[in-house]
Amino acid sequence: MDCIFCRIINRELPAARIFEDSDVISFLDINPVNFGHTLVVPKRHYELLLDIPGVELGRVTKILPSIARAVMAATKADGLNVFQTNGPCAGQTVPHLHFHIIPRHTHDDFSFGWRQKKYRGDEMARMQTDIISALKNVGV
């Protein structure tokens, strides 16, 4: 497998490591949105959030608040974004599950560019029904 994050985890590539234990690694993003932009990554390879078992995801997300607090303190940020993408169409550029912690400053000129939509008629109720049905099919 030629996964850049797996290569970082295996110490085949350098990284500015922030935190590491037996399950999780965190390091600075090499192309930061803002300085201090940090990634939190499970050491086992999972491409998508949809692939990781809940217990392992819990190990990753358990450390997220502590790393986020450290990033905010070190960067003197006014706020932060924590986000995660799944698949190229959602902006995932490395096919290994990871969370971004991006320190934000009031006038940093970064924007997600979200465009919001409105449900019409019974579209919201139909979507709710479809998602509830899909939950039953995935075993929840």
The catalytic site residues sit at 98
**In whole angstroms, how far apart are CA 23 and each of 41, 56, 83?**
9, 8, 19
DSSP state of 92: -
Residue 24 pairs with which residues in a beta bridge? 42
- Tokens representing 114 are 């979200």
CB 28 within 8 A of CB 15: yes
d(CA 114, CA 68): 23
Strand ranges of the sheet holding 79-83, from the earlier edge strand across to the other edge = 17-20, 24-28, 38-42, 99-104, 79-83
